[in-house]
Structure 1
Amino acid sequence: MRVVLHTGKGGVGKTTVSCATAVACARRGLRTLLLSTDPAHSVADVLDVPVSGDPEPVPGQPDLWAAQVDTRHRFEESWAQIRAYLVGVLAARGMAEVQAEELTVLPGAEEVVALLELRRLAASGRFDVIVVDCAPTGETLRLLALPETIGFYAGRLLGAPQRMLRSLAATFTGVPGSAPSAAVRDAVGELLTELMAARALLADPQVTGIRLVLTPERVVIAEARRLFTALSLHGFTVEGATINRVLPPKAGGEFLRGQRAAQREALVHVRESFAGLTVRRVPMVAREPVGVAALAELADEIFAADDPLARTTEPTHIQVEGADGRYQLALPLPLVDKGDLALSRSGDDLVVTVGDVRRRMALPSVLRRCTVGGARFDGGRLLVEFVADPDLWPATLRARVLSETDGGSPSGLVSQTRSDDDRPADRLVGA
């Protein structure tokens, strides 16, 4: 089972590339689903066939199905109990039921429904490949980061789904007895479980790969670089970049020659930015590729005889190495300048911020008993050093080790005084 997500700046032809990739997979006999999570839902326009919320065969291409996430229908279907509970709470506060119905479509609901639908279709076993036409850059990042964010706030700040719902009820009604039913609590718990399962699916490099779609333009390339960094920070595997609308070498005219020269410079920048990734070019064609036949021709241009699911890069993931009280956490962070990075420790979490993107990562148990000793960049990776700190050990372990060392500091485990876990990045990241 493979999941391939396409994302990029709006207007770069992401939907067309997604459709052509899905056609290429289906032509190789793979049961392929083309799924749109983009609210614009342009897949039907590019395929030139109607597309609904449920997977339906695409006429003219065996082994190809298409669907677009029907947010409203899935929301009402999956969240019926939760929504009914919230509507009742709001109505008890004096709000009209029609208004309450509207307010239960909460911010982020579209992303939640899209994640649950993708996970449901992947788990169905009906398809060998799911090609996802994602929303533009910012929406895609919110979509992929959502499960971890919700999991953090539900688990750390509110304790559990039951407490979260009781807090909501008390806030809106002021009545302690308006706690949710067991069915509602179970529904919320199941929702959180499903979201974390979706996160695991998307973060599994053996299953899911993300492909950036861009055009050879400076502004577009700059956004794609930032997206590459942000996706890597959140633990997702970027396996390739597709450069769309590349002018053919024989395109004539003074105007086109000038454009071609600008594209040549941009293509060099792309190769330098995404070194190590599979980079494919999509030539600009005279007519917009619409319909299965035109998309099949475009697929031949993109992939030729290559496997459309082939990956040439090793999956990237967080690694922890070390022993004897000294450890190193390696986090892939391509295309990052030291000045853009902020790094801090908050309890059992490591907080990494790059520009306006932040990820809060729960540390492995062995690192929770350490202090941060420093950090540096090396070959597109952030290396964070940890040193064991007996003050953070369980009391029984600390007492045993100290007794074995005659009451002194455990030899070889601590070589510096305890550091402040919330030091700013400029003191943690070395040159």
Structure 2
Amino acid sequence: MTPSPRIVLVTGKGGVGKTTTAAALAVESARAGRRTLVMSTDVAHSLGDALEIGLRTSPTWDRTLEVEERLHAQAVGARTSVAADWGTMRDYLLTVLDSFGVDPVVAEELTALPGADEISALLTLGHHATSGEWDVVVVDCAPTAETLRLLALPELLGWHLDRLMPTQRRLLTAMRPAAAAAAGLPMPGNEVLDVLSTWRAHMADVRTLLTSERASVRIVLTPENVVIAEARRILTSLSLHGYAVDAVVVNRVIPVDDDPWRSAWNAAQTAGIATIVESFRGTPVLVAPYLAGEPTGADALAELAVQTTTLDGELPPLDSPVRGGGLRVEPDGEDFVLLLPLPLARSGDVDLARRGDDLVVDVGGVRRVIALPSVLRRCIVKNAGVRAGELRVRFVRDEEVWPRGR
């Protein structure tokens, strides 16, 4: 089996320099001898500007643009490759809307796929991860809110499709004529359900890849209070969904000198950096300087990478396995404890709800639906709390379905 490439997803609040950071990391990786691809999943693609190349949205998964030896770039959008599969779904929806007498022009607008950018990005990333062409894939993600939506999608879409398939396939195969007559609508054919099944399989593969020891997220921020607060929240949210953060990059740090104007900024940034080091304790903190000119082009980006230094912690080599800490279940006497890393969260930030065989965890408005392992489905939640940056949910046996002694 072809080994998976090392994947680094770079994100941060809009305007902090995440695209420049991603491009610099990619150039550094390629010039160190690794076959490197840098992908942009941001709708407002600026990766081409950073690399000083003419980069347009790729029409297919495998079409990339060579920047220099061992370095390729790609911009991914809603029309990248996934359009072929979406066409099957779209044709079915157009048929349904036509049966309602909806104007064809209006129907075209109504069938725009919500989340198409995210689905296309994930499917394209999955393709590159299994192609055997790359040693490293750097992903220039959209700003934080969109990144969270992107990374939550594989599990969320899989959760919904697991409940739709294969029951719906059996019912529709047996009852399509009667169902169509009763509803007055055309029922989806097997080709539509095949597309859903394919998406489900791809999403499961991508989720496995992104939570493996070959993938991590790198958060870019500037030493400003508003930006730091958002970076703290995204660290918690990424951990909620099981993604590892391998480093934070403090960008645009002004060099220290005797100029009064700069001195004021130096003092403010020093205080901000101290907050960052304390907030992200245990995660390597890198510092990139505020350069005299905008770093565009491969040579300038390579120089930025050289000048990016480690301030706190130790950043493992890019080829090293990523140290993760996802969800796990541990026995405790006759009870079971579900543990999930939630750095920087407090018990009051977390809401829990049990819905059948699922546990819904909400942290500051970011939600994850966790399909419970079979052993916990026969249990009930006794209590929960956050301790030392980890959510601990205690389950006890449900005596009605799992009496003690059995």
| Alignment correspondent of 1:276 | 282
Question: Cα gap change, 1:156/1:55 in structure 2, threshold over 3 Å: closer, same or farther?
Answer: same
| Alignment-mate amino acid for residue 94 of structure 1 | G
Question: Cα gap change, 1:339/1:311 in structure 2, threshold over 3 Å: closer, same or farther?
Answer: farther
Deviation at 1:152? 2.3
Q: Is the 8 A contact 1:170 1:178 kept in 2?
A: no
2:252 to 245, 253, 258: 245
* 1:179 aligned onto 2:183: no
CA displacement 1:363-406 (0-9 Å, x = unmatched) = 1111111122222322211111122223123xxxx5xxxxxxxx
Q: Is the 8 A contact 1:6 1:14 kept in 2?
A: yes
* 1:294 aligned onto 2:328: no
Deviation at 1:311? 6.2
| Alignment correspondent of 1:96 | 103
2:146 to 125, 139, 150: 139
Helix, strand or coil at the partner of 1:361: strand
Distance in 1, Cα, partners of 2:180 & 2:286: 53
Helix, strand or coil at the partner of 2:400: helix
| Alignment-mate amino acid for residue 343 of structure 2 | P
Distance in 2, Cα, partners of 1:171 & 1:247: 67
Distance in 2, Cα, partners of 1:162 & 1:366: 29
Distance in 2, Cα, partners of 1:154 & 1:196: 11
Deviation at 1:308? 5.7
Question: Cα gap change, 1:377/1:78 in structure 2, threshold over 3 Å: closer, same or farther?
Answer: same
Describe how 1:3-402 pairs up with structure 2 within 5 A: 3-52=7-56, 53=58, 54-58=63-67, 61-156=68-163, 160=167, 162=169, 175-176=183-184, 178-204=186-212, 206-250=213-257, 252-302=258-308, 309=318, 314-322=323-331, 324-393=333-402
Deviation at 1:310? 6.1
Helix, strand or coil at the partner of 1:79: helix
Q: Bigger CA drift: 36-45 or 187-196?
A: 187-196
Question: Cα gap change, 1:329/1:306 in structure 2, threshold over 3 Å: closer, same or farther?
Answer: closer
Helix, strand or coil at the partner of 1:94: coil
Distance in 2, Cα, partners of 1:276 & 1:379: 12
Distance in 1, Cα, partners of 2:98 & 2:178: 13
When normalised by structure 2's length, the TM-score is: 0.89
Computed over aligned residues only, the root mean square deviation of the Cα atoms, in angstroms, reads 2.8
Q: Is the 8 A contact 2:256 2:262 kept in 1?
A: no
Question: Cα gap change, 1:163/1:36 in structure 2, threshold over 3 Å: closer, same or farther?
Answer: farther
| Alignment-mate amino acid for residue 336 of structure 1 | A
CA displacement 1:276-335 (0-9 Å, x = unmatched) = 111110011000000011011111112699776266973111121116522111110000
Distance in 2, Cα, partners of 1:287 & 1:174: 67
Helix, strand or coil at the partner of 1:51: coil
| Alignment correspondent of 1:426 | none
Distance in 2, Cα, partners of 1:382 & 1:231: 14
| Alignment-mate amino acid for residue 240 of structure 2 | L
Distance in 1, Cα, partners of 2:306 & 2:179: 58
**Which entry has the higher C-alpha Rg, 1 or 2?**
1
When normalised by structure 1's length, the TM-score is: 0.84
CA displacement 1:192-214 (0-9 Å, x = unmatched) = 2212222222122x111001000
| Alignment-mate amino acid for residue 365 of structure 1 | S
Question: Cα gap change, 1:307/1:340 in structure 2, threshold over 3 Å: closer, same or farther?
Answer: closer
Distance in 2, Cα, partners of 1:57 & 1:247: 33
Question: What 5-or-longer segments of structure 1 have no aligned partner?
Answer: 399-408, 414-431
| Alignment-mate amino acid for residue 203 of structure 2 | L
Deviation at 1:92? 2.4
Question: Cα gap change, 1:391/1:50 in structure 2, threshold over 3 Å: closer, same or farther?
Answer: same
CA displacement 1:156-198 (0-9 Å, x = unmatched) = 378756489999x999997456122222221221122212222
Helix, strand or coil at the partner of 2:9: strand
Q: Is the 8 A contact 2:6 2:319 kept in 1?
A: no
